[in-house]
Amino acid sequence: MKVAILCGGRGTRIREVSDLIPKPMIPVGNRPILWHIMKIFSAQGFNEFVLLLGYKGQVIREFFLNFAAHTADMTIDMNVRGSGRVCFHSETQEPWKITLVDTGEQAMTGARLWRARKFLADADGFMATYGDGIGNVDLGRLLKFHQAHGKTGTLTGVRPPGRFGEMEVQQSRVCKFNEKPQVSEGYINGGFFVFDPSIFDRFLNDREDLVLEKEPLERMASSGELMMCPHDGFWQPMDTPREYQLINELWAGPNPPWKIW
């Protein structure tokens, strides 16, 4: 099953570290947070990715086109010409197939998914997540939950700080979806979605200002087509400089909670 990762955001709330690069390329240790997200999926058997590019998407393209140069030790022999000039040592091999899709610099999350539909509308559906959030989510459990209920979409519900929005949930069905109400309690949208391909015809379109978390998910919830799989383990977004510092401190520690590989 393919995994769509929303990689087009500017990261305006974390501008101190993302002004020159797209938010998914902000480093956690010596790798972009996007690499960490892909490793979470890959460790659980999901290795085909569709990256939805926008702001400074060429930076992400260059990283994967020159993946070995960014991740492996190397020797450069300036006296040699041609392909033998560079020798990579213990080159990192990842079992990934990556499709990079330019979805427009100004497009919002719903429009980005729509513009990548030809790469995602497989019969079995697809997973999706944001390019700035990590967690030790059990993706196999999430997928089984989605396949069992037969609805259009499943999102992962988490219990984070109160600045996020909330969902009203009854017996795992999302009854009401409020992205950012005044008071927040209970579960909120932690990303890590699974969608049936019918989402494209029923809930998405090419309108550039279409925000996935607004009209599409709200309509899915009101029509009984959105379910929630709870996750009570580790989950952490990277929206602020403080969160950037926290994630890097966790990565530098002995047991980063999202490192399941």
| Dist CA 25 CA 67 (whole Å) | 13
Per residue in 45-73, pLDDT tens? 999 999 999 999 999 999 999 888 888 78
| Dist CA 227 CA 157 (whole Å) | 9
| Dist CA 87 CA 179 (whole Å) | 50
Place of tokens 């309509």: 219
Q: Which of 204, 203, 180, 167 is nearest to 52 (CA)?
A: 204
In degrees and rounded to multiples of 5, residue 156 shows phi and psi of -90, 125
Tell me the H-state helices in the chain.
15-18, 33-42, 57-65, 67-71, 109-115, 117-120, 139-149, 199-203, 215-222, 241-252
The total number of residues written for the chain in this structure: 261
Instruction: Note if the pTM is more than 0.85.
Output: yes
Per residue in 23-38, pLDDT tens? 999 999 999 999 999 9
Per residue in 105-149, pLDDT tens? 999 999 999 999 999 988 889 999 999 999 999 999 999 999 999
